[in-house]
């Protein structure tokens, strides 16, 4: 186990390094610059700005300087938000995105797995057909459409939840639902397929033949052995929900990383784009390691070595 974790840690560091390198050079290849605006600066001012942020240095020099500071834990200054370091922006906004993402994950796993299990147990019934239809609908509808619909229904028509901002627990309900229902629908379909496969196994029929109750067969034998594919998906899903809620955060005016990332892309804020990308990549690497360990615990046949 220890050697496996060491190998995955080394490969994860290499992945982060590769992503940082590719992102750095791709941003420099995109037309336009961080200080290109409709108002044209005099050449002297533009030259001073480029010199201040070292944008007039050769690209390989900029890359060396950035990676050197990155190894020290410094993500550099933001071009858009003056007098603020990128790491400080991420420290202020990541907790908000993390709370929203974890709430959406809780909704996804709770509703998705429950609906998938019930649908598999009630196969070919009205409940199963309604579950499949609801899951297909949830997968097809984008999160920003759900968000707009929830604002119209629950904020303007029913006046149950606030439409925007992030101040009280009630403000988190609509964005968490908009972000979590799509993954919940996908998990429901995946859980149903996996459960149906496990329920057809010989050991499940044997357990039923021994007189075990239906609930015990489902929970003790079928559910645990059907969770492998679900766990494999949940790992990357955590990183996606925590850092990938850009559009939902924008719709509901949630002060998370999504708001800053959209602004950074619009304004070519290179350091901030790099910072958010590295956070996302790091979460992906960590969650993939966690998935491998959890998968081995669920299935003793899996040997990490």
- In the prediction, which pLDDT does 107 show? 92
Angle at 271 between CA 277 and CA 27, to 5 degrees: 75
Q: What's the rounded mean pLDDT across residues 242-263? A: 80
The C-alpha R_g of the chain, in whole angstroms, comes to: 24
Write the pLDDT tens digit of every residue in 81-137: 878 888 888 888 888 888 998 899 999 999 998 898 888 888 889 988 998 899 889
Confidence check: pLDDT of 299 > 70? no
Distance (Å, whole) CA 107 – CA 102: 9
Please give the C-alpha separations between residue 303 and each of 204, 227, 273, in angstroms, as whole numbers.
24, 17, 38
Distance (Å, whole) CA 232 – CA 287: 10
| Sign of the CA dihedral with 78 first, then 83, 85, and 88 last | negative
Write the pLDDT tens digit of every residue in 31-59: 766 666 545 556 666 677 667 777 777 88
pLDDT band at 10 (very low <50, low <70, confident <90, very high): confident
- In the prediction, which pLDDT does 34 show? 67
Q: What's the rounded mean pLDDT across residues 244-269? A: 80
Burial 60-80 (b: 16+ CB within 10 A, else e): eebbeebeeebeeeebbbbbb
- In the prediction, which pLDDT does 149 show? 92
Question: Which two structure tokens, joined as six digits, stand for 274?
Answer: 């790099």
Backbone angles phi, psi at 54, to 5 degrees: 60, 30
Average pLDDT, the chain: 82
């Amino acid at each position: 186990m220890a050697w496996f974790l060491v190998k995955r840690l080394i490969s994860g560091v290499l992945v982060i390094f590769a992503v940082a390198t590719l992102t750095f050079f791709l941003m420099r290849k995109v037309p336009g610059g961080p200080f290109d605006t409709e108002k044209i600066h005099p050449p002297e001012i533009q030259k001073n700005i480029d010199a201040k942020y070292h944008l007039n240095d050769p690209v390989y020099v900029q890359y060396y300087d950035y990676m050197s500071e990155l190894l020290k834990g410094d993500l550099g200054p933001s071009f858009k938000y003056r007098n603020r370091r990128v790491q400080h922006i991420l420290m202020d906004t990541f907790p908000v995105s993390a709370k929203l993402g974890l709430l959406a994950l809780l909704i996804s796993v709770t509703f998705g797995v429950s609906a998938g299990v019930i649908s598999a147990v009630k196969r070919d019934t009205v409940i199963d057909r309604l579950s499949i239809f609801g899951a297909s609908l949830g997968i097809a509808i984008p999160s920003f459409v759900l968000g707009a619909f929830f604002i119209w229904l629950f904020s303007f028509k029913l006046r149950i939840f606030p439409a925007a901002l992030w101040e009280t627990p009630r403000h988190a309900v609509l964005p968490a639902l908009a972000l979590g229902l799509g993954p919940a629908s996908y998990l429901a379909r995946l859980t149903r397929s996996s459960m149906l496969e496990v329920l057809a196994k010989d050991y499940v029929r044997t357990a039923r033949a021994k007189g075990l109750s239906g609930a015990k067969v489902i929970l003790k034998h079928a559910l645990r052995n059907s969770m492998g594919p679900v766990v494999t998906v949940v790992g990357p899903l955590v990183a996606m929900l925590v850092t990938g809620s850009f559009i939902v955060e924008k719709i509901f005016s949630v002060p998370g990383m999504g708001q800053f990332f959209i602004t950074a892309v619009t304004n070519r804020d290179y350091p901030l784009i790099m910072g958010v990308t590295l956070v996302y990549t790091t979460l992906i690497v960590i969650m993939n390691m966690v998935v491998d360990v959890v998968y081995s615990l669920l299935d003793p046949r899996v040997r990490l070595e």
